[in-house]
Structure formats: structure tokens, C-alpha cells
Amino acid sequence: MATHSSPIAGGNIAGLADLTGMIVERFGDQVAQLRAGANFILTLSVGQPSALPTLAQFLFWEHGCLFGGITAEEHSNHWQIHYTFLLPGSGWIDVEFSMALETKTLPSIVTEVHAADWHEREIEDLFGIHFENHPRLGDFVLHDQIWHEGIDPMRKTFSAERPQLERKVDLEWQPLLVVGDPGSFAMPVGPVYEGGIGESLHFLLETVGEDVIRAAPRLFYNYRAVEKIAEGRSIPDALLLAERFAATSAFAHSLAFCLAAERIAAVEAPPRAAALRVLLAELERLRHHAGAIAAICESTALAVAAAQASIIEEQLLRASCVFTDHRYLFGLNTPGGLNRDFELEQCKTLLATVDKAESDLRILERRLRLSSSFLDRLEDVGVVIGESARDLNLVGPIGRASAQHCDLRRACSYSGYGRLAFDVPCETEGDGYARLRILFAEATQSARLIHQVADTLEGGPVRVAYEVNHAGAALGWTEAPRGAALHWLRVDERGIVERYRAITPSFNNWLGFHVAAENFAFQDFPIILATFGLSATECDR
């Protein structure tokens, strides 16, 4: 094994020297190269695919790394597969494996890292790479009733513009049902909701009568092939996609995209822009959480509380609009900083609304705590215990309600979060009520961050010149309102996007939804769904 003479040996990053030593000892020849880089604190090139599962198992379970995701890239004559892990407090680790384009099989790491399940399914469906020993490949992003296998739209040879008219669809296709008891049946819900407004998403509630045994979501109705159509676009054009594929967390995603683009060009947003980005990101989180709280109250039919929370949300939407000219914070981020600056007066008006929202939320929380019939419906409902949450690598507020502390603002700071004081609330019960408490606690922290930023805002420009004149790739990440968002961007020397990959918290967490939705009463279904608060469109991209 060749070790680079790069700064990692010094181990100025906590835990990294240890880790490198252990990898050298354990994996010896299987890891062809070990190097530090601008993007990742550590890149491991794996020589033999057989080493992937054991290496993944070592990093995830033995070394306590978090799983980021899997990204496949098709180069002119080879595949490059990135398995991304996070060493909390230090940075990202890239386990990289290259193979000839003709080789289209890889060992699955699902047995070792359960959280890789959907990543492998997605890559199989969109690139046609087969994962050996994966329990269930096939029908995933491209629904088998309307698409046949082998289309592989993410391959470079596939043209996104050409409509796929001739499809050999599988008319026999049937959803996979697990419950086989006599008298059991499946109740379909969605993708079009009757009497309500919901994102396109389908569930099969498998039941034997009163109780639902299992509820499996079927996603990707909103798949717009964002990663595919981004290819060939310029960075600003691709940014429009990054910002608009999941609008309820538009700012977090556009920020992650811009951070990646900035890392490629070795440009950093000026301090004022970085601070304002934190302010805007926290404004988005506050608004999102107010909306999520409203949805939870509504799912339990507590109409007054739902109304009051949705008023808070609307007030924040209006304040966002007054402050930025857009209710969902579109059009602000740009590679190199922000598109515009804000006046002090504007900040003051915003702060007043934020304070009001925060104190209203506190009052609401106090009242909810006194509403025993409301709490009865949340407590012990949709429980995800800590071990499952770890196993499935749940992120964001859902993970933190099940004792998973990870918050990227802390675990791998960006945009100056490292210098700010805030708490990362964490609960252990993992039920609906714990998730509600996390939402309230995080909303308070967001208001605190907004104040800190506004109080210490420096002058100066909000944007630096941005230009790409060399090919490169980089990872950008943010803690979006629903959890960790990872954006991987590769551009050529003219700044044209060659590969864009967005790993979203909803994609991550939908995988774990079935754990919460096991053996429950029918009427609890909307509550479990609301306390998870996931977005289908953020997952589908």
C-alpha cells in the first residue's frame, strides 16, 4: 500500500491518524492508495471490490463513521464509485473504487451497512450496475408498470431529451406483499390524495383487519431526473435545478450546491455572505419546523393548535418575502456568495418577526404539553429505537429524536457555523412526541442563531468573482431542515456540469419509515407520517 506524504500523517484532525493506522493494519494491500485531499480528509482507493463490504463495515460499525451515500460516476472508459462516510468532528471520507465500463457488477454492502440499500437500488435502476447479494433490485425509481428494465437513463449514451415512447412495460407487475396471513389484504393510499393535499406518494397498508402490519412507501412519482438533466448545463443553470427540486428546503440545497461549486474553484464566500447564508438557512429551518409542527397538530385533529402553528408559518413566509422578495428564498445563493445584500433596517424587521414566531411557538408548546389527549396520540407512536436509527443512519430531527446526535453544522461545520454558539437538541425515546419536542427545540436554536448572526454581522461585500477554469469535482454539504444534504458536483474545464448528485435527507430517511410504521392502528397512520415530516419530492429529485 502506498501512503501519500500528505498532512494526514500529522493527524491534526482528531481521530484521523488513528483511523489511518488501523486501516493500514487491517486492510493492507486491499487499499491501493490512501491520500488526503481538498475534498475529503481521506480518500481510500480500493483495489479489490471484495474489500468494499468489509471496509464499509469497519468504517460504519467499528469506527463509528456515519454513512453519507454512494455516488456512481461514468467516465469515458471506467466507472468510479464513491462510498462517502463522515468521521464526525473531522470530515468526509471517500472510499473510491474504479472498474472498467464493461464490468457491471459490484458486491453489495447492504448486509454490512443497511443504509446503503436504496443507494444501491437507485444505481442499479439508473446505471444498470448490478449489486451482488442485494436482496431486492429492479423496480425502484423507474416504476415497472411503465418502464422496462435496462433503460439506464443515467448512462452517458442515454439522451435525456428524447422521449422514451417504446416501452416494453410489465403489465403483470405486482407490488411485493409481505404479510401472508389468511384474510390479510393490502389497502392502497395515494399517489393522488382524496380530500386532502399531499405530495405524490403511494403506500400499501398491509393489514389483517384492525391493525396495519406493515406500510411500505412507493416513491419517485415526482422523479424529474434532476441529476440527469443537470448534465451539460452551466453551473448557474444547474443551480436553478438544485434550488427548485425541493422548494421547502430550497435554500439549504442551493447552499450545498454553491459550496460544492466554490470548492471546485477554490473560492470562498466573503464573511458577510457566509454569515447571511447562516441567517437565511436558519430562517428556512424555523419556517420549516413551524410548518412541520402545524402538520403534526393537524394529523391529530387538534384544529386550533394546527391553525395557530400555520399562522406562525405564514407569518414567517411573509417575513421571508419582505426580506428577500421571495417566500421560499429562491434566487439568493450564487457561487461566490449571495446575489444581493440586505440593509440593517430590513434585518431589524425580520428579527422582530422571528422573535414573535419563537415566542408564539413556546406558548404553543406549553399548551400542547397540557393537552393530554394530544400527547396520548403521539407518545409511543411510530417508535424508532436508537439501534434501528443507527442501523438505518437516520439523519436530521428524526435521527436526533432517536439518539443520533449528528448535525452537520456541528459534525462538519460549513459557512462559519463552527464559530457560532447553539445546541443540538437530542432525545432518546424515538417516538412521535420526541420528534415534536426536537422540532420545537430546534426552532428555538434557529432563532438564537439568527440573532447571533444579526448582532455580529460584519460589513463588506457579499459576493466574490466566481469563475471555473479547470475541471474538478467537489462535495458540498449542509444540514437542511430535514437533515444532512450532500451535493456532489463535477464540472469540466469550461464549467459545464458532468455529474451532479444530490443526496437528500428525505431519501435517507424514507428508508427508515417502515420501522416506525409497523403494527399500528389505522388511525395512527397520518400521525406517524406527520411526525416523520418527510418530503417525497425531496427524495425523488
E strands, 210-366, are 211-218, 333-334, 337-338
Check binding of 370 to another protein (CB under 8 A): yes
Check binding of 160 to another protein (CB under 8 A): yes
Binding positions for another protein, 383-422, rule CB under 8 A:
none
Tell me how far, at minimum, the Cβ of 175 lies from another protein, in Å: 15
- One DSSP character per residue, 352-420 reads HHHHHHHHHHHHHHHHHHT-HHHHHHHTTSS---HHHHHHTT--HHHHHHTT----HHHHT--TTGGGS
Check binding of 244 to another protein (CB under 8 A): yes
CB under 8 A: which stretch of 60-68, 142-150, 207-215, 495-503 binds another protein? Answer: 142-150
CB under 8 A: which stretch of 78-86, 128-136, 318-326, 381-389 binds another protein? Answer: 318-326
> Which residue in the set 310, 424, 448, 451 belongs to the binding site for another protein (CB under 8 A)?
310
Helix, strand counts (H, E) of the chain? 17, 17
The SS3 assignment for 430 reads: coil
Size of residue set near another protein by CB under 8 A:
76
> Which residue in the set 76, 77, 174, 373 belongs to the binding site for another protein (CB under 8 A)?
373
Grid-cell match 412521535, residue found: 432
| Max CA separation in the chain (angstroms) | 70
Asked if 59 and 93 touch (Cβ cutoff 8 Å), the reply is yes
Asked if 395 and 407 touch (Cβ cutoff 8 Å), the reply is no
CA 136/CA 351 separation, integer angstroms: 50
Check binding of 320 to another protein (CB under 8 A): yes
> Which residue in the set 68, 69, 217, 291 belongs to the binding site for another protein (CB under 8 A)?
291
Check binding of 225 to another protein (CB under 8 A): yes
Check binding of 171 to another protein (CB under 8 A): no
Which residue's CB is nearer to another protein, number 192 or number 344?
192
CA 381/CA 356 separation, integer angstroms: 31
> Which residue in the set 49, 191, 416, 461 belongs to the binding site for another protein (CB under 8 A)?
191
Which residue's CB is nearer to another protein, number 172 or number 194?
194
CA 218/CA 432 separation, integer angstroms: 22
Check binding of 199 to another protein (CB under 8 A): yes
Check binding of 367 to another protein (CB under 8 A): yes
- The CB density around residue 299, as the number of other CB atoms within 10 Å, is 21
**Could you say which DSSP state residue 316 is in?**
H
Tell me how far, at minimum, the Cβ of 445 lies from another protein, in Å: 23
Which residue's CB is nearer to another protein, number 84 or number 320?
320
Check binding of 321 to another protein (CB under 8 A): yes
